[in-house]
Amino acid sequence: MNKVELLAPAGDLERLKWALMYGADAVYIGGRNFSLRANAKNFSIEEIKEACDYAHKLNKKVYVTINIVFHNKDYEGLEQYIKKIYNIGVDAVIVSDIGCINLIKKTCPDLEIHLSTQASCMNKEAVKFYKNLGIKRVVLARECSKEEIKNIIEETHMDTECFIHGAMCVGLSGRCVLSNYMTNRDSNRGGCSQICRWDFDLYDSNNKEIESNTKFTMCSKDLSMIEYIPEMIDLGVKSFKIEGRMRSIYYIASVVHTYRKIIDEYMKDKDNFKFNKNYQKVLNKVANRENVAQFFHKKPDVNEQYYLGRVEFSNQDFLGIILDYNKEEKIATIEQRNYFKVGDEIEMFGPNTELFKIKVNEIIDEEGNKIDVARHPKQILKIKIDKNVNKYDIMRIPYLD
């Protein structure tokens, strides 16, 4: 069976390292310009180089998004930028604008081009068009069903990449400028103000308000393909993409780790694979929104939409990061990330650490004092952990029974 790629988002270098550590085969990042997440920290040229050096040492890949819809003046500096990132060694660029595609082909013909989901490519003839243009991989529109994905792969033999987790655009990608018209922020150049998450009053064509305690909204639930990974592997999808360049390291590590395990378990023993429902539990806890499979098996309806207010709350499950572990003394040095105290039960997991639980019996601060509560962000503390842990393992509140 061909290897599949787990592709993770990275809004900055720290996120990139965590994504790769926790099992991503590749990451996608945006530069300071030309990317649709204009308000993320993004990567300078030096940081893109550092990202590539780091990833390539691990035999992993870096893709750079150049996925805005270009206005005339936006091409300024693009040619030099393409040359710079090509010379740095990025593995591919993710693009939708046909003018940009042509410029890349002329400037750096060896630079691999992936078609962004912004192109909303959703059928085999469209894929053939882009294949003829020299595109090496298509990120399919999120509106594609399972049958469509299968048919496209079978008929075109194009490498395909599909989103498997994260927030969804409720409109067709690249065809929504609500943000432009309602807030003057350009959605196709990285300034989207997410109008689709607003509440609205709804009126009929006679200007009569539709009365309800629930306001009209377009907000959709997030995507999760967690139960369908084996099916997608069998379809021949080459790359599995997680959305969220602006997500926390905890989210990225948890989601990447979960999908990594599922992919590896299935690839190792397809015939005896059994879906472990704990993985779903983890994803539900980490995400702060409901998630569903969206278009994969059917057209979305009321069950795929949010109406109760998309409450965003910061996740306080993430308790700390292992900085060091003394095997003889069985003492872990940790960096606190959220409140916990003596007596709490916590879970530990990491890229090479199987999940286990412990009870916190003692917390020592940097001065060697025993304390009852770890309350200060990024405080450096020591706790006793009998099982071996590794640097960059994660501590969290228990998710699993």
Which of 147/264 has CB closer to another protein? 147
Contact string 16-35 vs another protein (x = CB under 8 A): ---------------xxx--
User: 355 near 348, Cβ under 8 Å?
Assistant: yes
Least distance (Å) between residue 24 CB and another protein: 25
Which of 238, 239, 235 lies closest to 150, judged by CA? 235
CA 140 to CA 67: how far, in whole Å?
14
61-66 and 159-166 as β-strands: parallel, antiparallel, unpaired? unpaired
Per rule CB under 8 A, count of chain residues that contact another protein: 86
Which of 21/40 has CB closer to another protein? 40
Contact between 87 and another protein by CB under 8 A: the answer reads: no
User: For another protein, which residue of 14, 56, 87, 147 counts as binding (CB under 8 A)?
Assistant: 147
Six-digit token string for 322:
């292992």
Least distance (Å) between residue 302 CB and another protein: 4
User: 114 near 138, Cβ under 8 Å?
Assistant: yes
CA 138 to CA 158: how far, in whole Å?
7
Contact between 53 and another protein by CB under 8 A: the answer reads: no
Contact between 154 and another protein by CB under 8 A: the answer reads: no
Which of 237, 188, 195 lies closest to 37, judged by CA? 188
Give, as ranges, the residues between 252 and 291 that touch another protein (CB under 8 A): none
User: For another protein, which residue of 98, 134, 372, 375 counts as binding (CB under 8 A)?
Assistant: 98
Which of 39/352 has CB closer to another protein? 39
Contact between 311 and another protein by CB under 8 A: the answer reads: no
Residue pointed to by tokens 């997410």: 194
Which of 146/384 has CB closer to another protein? 146
Least distance (Å) between residue 166 CB and another protein: 17
CA 90 to CA 27: how far, in whole Å?
11
Which of 22/295 has CB closer to another protein? 295
Least distance (Å) between residue 129 CB and another protein: 4
Give kind and range of the element (H or E) at residue 358. strand 353-359
Radius of gyration of the chain (CA): 23
Residue pointed to by tokens 């930028």: 81
User: For another protein, which residue of 1, 59, 109, 207 counts as binding (CB under 8 A)?
Assistant: 207
User: For another protein, which residue of 75, 86, 273, 275 counts as binding (CB under 8 A)?
Assistant: 75
Contact between 109 and another protein by CB under 8 A: the answer reads: no
Give how far Cα 253 sits from Cα of 7, 381, 393, Å: 12, 22, 10
CA 27 to CA 245: how far, in whole Å?
10
Query: What single-letter amino acid sits at 82?
Result: I
Q: What are the φ/ψ torsions at residue 216 (nearest 5 degrees)?
A: -70, 135
Which of 8/192 has CB closer to another protein? 192
Contact between 292 and another protein by CB under 8 A: the answer reads: no
Contact string 214-253 vs another protein (x = CB under 8 A): x-xxx-x---------------------------------
Least distance (Å) between residue 59 CB and another protein: 28
